[in-house]
Amino acid sequence: MLKLIKQRLVWGLVLTATVSGVLSCNVAAHATSSKADEVKAAYVMDAKSGQVVYAQNADQKLPIASLSKLMTLYLVERAIEHGQIKWTDAVPIRKNVRKMATSATLSVMPMPAKETFTVRELFAATLVGSSNSGAIALGEYVAGSNDKFIKLMNQQASKWHLDASFISASGLDNTCLLYTS
């Protein structure tokens, strides 16, 4: 699975970085947008010829949330392979991440204070449900802090020679963590 995640992540980042460059987002603007479900940009290329079939706002800088989550999941699997963490570990979740999880705009996974979550549960929530709070909790667990995890993400991108700049484990900018305090 690790190899498949890496392959998809590399191709997705190469395409995104080529189209969008270094990316960031503004959570407050995104959260209040009434057009949040509309497609903001699209880029379709024929895999064999490399010819662009369709492009909409191809040069617009946009957040790489799903690709950030794939990088997070890749680094979680790597930490498991290296024995740093286990699938069954209970992940400590900071109060502001739990609070962020109550926002329908920022998270799909409620995290009540009474509940605990394993690495496997948060991994599944991040992979299947694109859980922002799950990704952040996993990143903090792997590296000890959000900032340290972002550094790991960017170091990995650099090792793969990708022109990408990660700003969080979830792909949202870190104001989402401030928003909840």
Query: How crowded is residue 131: how many other Cβ atoms within 10 Å of its Cβ?
Result: 25
SS3 16: helix
Q: Which two tokens stand for residue 78?
A: 């790597």
* 135 contacts 69 by C-beta, under 8 angstroms: yes
Instruction: Let me know if 18 is exposed, middle or buried by CB neighbors in 10 A (0-12, 13-18, 19+).
Output: middle
Catalytically active residues, by annotation: 66, 69, 130
